[in-house]
Amino acid sequence: MKQNFIQKNVYFDPEKNNGKIKVEKLCQLISQHPYKEAIFDTFNVNDIKDDVICIDYIDNIYERVKHYNENYNRSSIFAQIKDINVYEEEKRIGDETEKNITFQFEEYVDIDEVKTDLKAIAIYDSKNTYLDEYEMTKYANNLFKIGLSGWANENIKYFKNLAQTNSDYNKHRSYRLVEHEGQIYLRGITSTTNYYEYGVDFTFVVSMLILHINMKANKGIEYRIKSCALNESKLDLIVSEKYKKDAGAFGKVSVAIKISTNDLGQGSLNFSNIINVGHIDENGFYLYPKKSEVENNKLQIYHNTKPGNVLPILNDMDGILNTSDKFIEELNSIKTIKTPDELRIKILGKIENPRSSFKGIRKLADIFSRKIDNEISSFVKLLEMCNKAEELDIEFDLKDKLRYIILYGNTKN
């Protein structure tokens, strides 16, 4: 059954796609969402409900999100540790035996009603989140793995018994459930108060509204959904401008937006500005524009951000959309460089500038060592060498900064 919770890529069938959907129909996905009214107010949905959103494959994604809304019923309950049993349970399915970690809630609160006796199978990271409270995750998981689940159960029971008399162990948490095909699953454990879930439906609807409003304000811009992977709790989406702009020797450039949400992760909503670079007959590749202390090309909203603060932020996406002209300008400034030394000076200038977000970089010194001069015969060769930076044995964050400094890929002089 757990395969039903794997995040799956959406197959785009051009024959079944008309790339159009009315705003009113799109918003049916959030008809039961707790923040529906706030969304309607923020984006003036009642005024544009008859608008038709034209984004390639929007109808395909709509049907997938609708499928998860209708077949995966999400809810949450509140419970205390003293009222929860956690144990491994075997279930016979045909000729195979399936082992699951089961949470049995002896007593819990559903909205404002006290209920009893509920079982849920742990999925995602819910089991580990529970065990992390006692710093016994690795130990207990190993016991489950080697067939000594009884010992793991005894350890868990010990802490449950402590919770009966010691409030330090009796944690009160929100347990996020999903019901699918008659079975209840536990998909996450979170705070009872400082946690806001926006969801796949919220993210998809709001994203499409943002893009539609941007198209209305900037005639000539059109969008295409390039890729999508989702399940009932996670969404990863890349939406690109349909038409690239001429970037000279660098080929064609267009803006793309990477949109993701994870109901169960630290970052609930993520919007990143990325650039699609390629020649006329090629799909090209994606680059993340350099970060700046004054310009932010990524928006990350955490689960503890209140809805009243989230929606105004989403209504102002200037740092994410319509950035291709600025990026082309930066590309062309790189093109004016004639020698490796000029490129070295430009990159070092970015690092050493007091306002630069790269001023802390120190471990890239070997790239600028004078001894490599003999190995560099042209601007193109230097770029090819810089592309090898991916192979450097340095921290991931440092390597990520290097991507922003050096534009790598195929170029023409």
- Average pLDDT score over residue span 120-128: 93
The encoded tokens of residue 348 equal: 């070092």
Model confidence pLDDT, tens digit, residues 63-94: 999 999 999 999 999 999 999 999 998 877 77
What mean pLDDT is reported for the chain?
79
Contact 281, 256 (CB under 8 A): no
Confidence band for 200, pLDDT divided at 50, 70 and 90: very high
Of 364 and 142, more confident:
142
CB burial string 94-112: b at 16+ within 10 A, e below = eeeeeebbbbebeebbeee
- Average pLDDT score over residue span 26-40: 93
Q: How far apart are alpha carbons 139 and 159 in whole angstroms?
A: 15
Residue 288 has pLDDT above 50, yes or no: yes
Q: How far apart are alpha carbons 19 and 57 in whole angstroms?
A: 5
| Range of lowest pLDDT (3-17, 98-112, 229-243) | 3-17
CB burial string 185-200: b at 16+ within 10 A, e below = bbbbbbeeeebbbbbb
Residues of the chain above pLDDT 90, percent: 38
Q: What is the model's pLDDT at position 286?
A: 58
Q: How far apart are alpha carbons 332 and 321 in whole angstroms?
A: 20
| Range of lowest pLDDT (148-152, 224-228, 295-299) | 295-299
Q: How far apart are alpha carbons 271 and 236 in whole angstroms?
A: 10
Residue 30 has pLDDT above 80, yes or no: yes
Q: Torsion-angle region of residue 391: left (phi > 0), alpha (psi -120 to 50) or beta?
A: alpha
